[in-house]
Structure 1
Amino acid sequence: MFDHVGFPCGDVETSVAFYSAVFAPLRMAVGVRIPTGPPGAPEVVGMTTGGTHPDFWLAPGGAVAQELHVAFAAPDRAAVDAVHEAALAHGAEVLHAPRIFPEYHPGYYAVFLRDPDGHNVEAVHHTWG
């Protein structure tokens, strides 16, 4: 459905470090950096999980008044667990440890985390049927 989504960040490099470390089990990494001004100015950073183009963008802009939420697809439950372990190693706040969330559907397995700007971010694997 979506081609890409972006989040404003209080500190782009702090967010890049967070997403690169915590979501490394999903192969998330920097795909492209776009300068926004003279050398040393914050950059817009496009993150990718190995696709043809960056689909998650981090941009300078400061905090937003309301919590944002994004869920990243995990190939299996082990990857969700690996994101959880990476989050703990990175010192990230864990909102909900990995488990099945039957209130969403019986095969909804996810971990929910808080990113550096206070957003609710998630790794999720769906088992249908």
Structure 2
Amino acid sequence: MFDHVKFGVSDYAASKTFFLNALAPLGVSVVAEGTPDYGVELSSPSNASLCLYQTAERPAHLHLAFVADSRRQVDDFYRAALAAGGTDNGAPGLRPNYHANYYAAFVIAPDGHNIEMVCHRPDE
């Protein structure tokens, strides 16, 4: 549905580091980068991009959910995001209230954004 999503962050370096590390299980890397006020584009091969830029405004909190191909990617995201400075907002596990195979983890990013990684596939 999306080609890219771009939003402002209060600490460009911290947010860039957080998202690069937290999304490493998806193969995310820097695709393009300019000055902090222009920003950075992060993407995995043939997927939508996440773009960040430095802003003096207080960003509104977002809920961003990324699709994982496996439950292991969800687990790896959770560990990487916490190691990168994120705060736990829901350990990896099934969320049957959404559907029987909804396996997700939630972490609060540096600006308070709720970052989710979700796998919709059954356990392999």
**TM tier, shorter chain?**
0.7 to 0.9
**Quick check: 1:30–1:48 contact (8 Å CA) kept in 2?**
yes
Paired position in structure 1 for 2:44 = 49
Q: Give the structure with the higher percent strand.
A: 1
- Asked if residue 11 in structure 1 is aligned to residue 11 in structure 2, the reply is yes
Paired position in structure 2 for 1:121 = 115
Paired position in structure 1 for 2:102 = 108
Q: Where does structure 2 lack aligned partners over 5 or more consecutive residues? A: none
Give deviations 1:83-121, integer Å, cap 9, x for gaps: 112123223201000011111111111110111110001
Segment drifting more, 1-10 vs 43-52: 43-52
List 4+ stretches of structure 1 deviating above 6 A: none
Q: Residue type matched to 2:75 in 1? A: D
Q: Residue type matched to 1:15 in 2? A: S
The DSSP-based 3-state class of the residue aligned with 1:113 is strand
Paired position in structure 1 for 2:30 = 30
Question: What TM-score do you get using the length of structure 1 for normalisation?
Answer: 0.85
Give deviations 1:28-66, integer Å, cap 9, x for gaps: 11110133xxxxx544110001227x61110122422x3
**Quick check: 1:16–1:30 contact (8 Å CA) kept in 2?**
no
Mapped to 2, the partners of 1:69 and 1:88 lie a distance apart of 17
Identity of matched residues, %:
37
Bigger Rg, which one: 1
**Quick check: 1:107–1:127 contact (8 Å CA) kept in 2?**
yes
Q: Where does structure 1 lack aligned partners over 5 or more consecutive residues? A: 36-40
Of 52, 56, 63, the match for 2:58: 63
Q: Residue type matched to 2:82 in 1? A: L
Paired position in structure 2 for 1:72 = 66
Q: Residue type matched to 1:70 in 2? A: L
Mapped to 2, the partners of 1:90 and 1:33 lie a distance apart of 20
Aligned-pair Cα RMSD in Å? 1.7
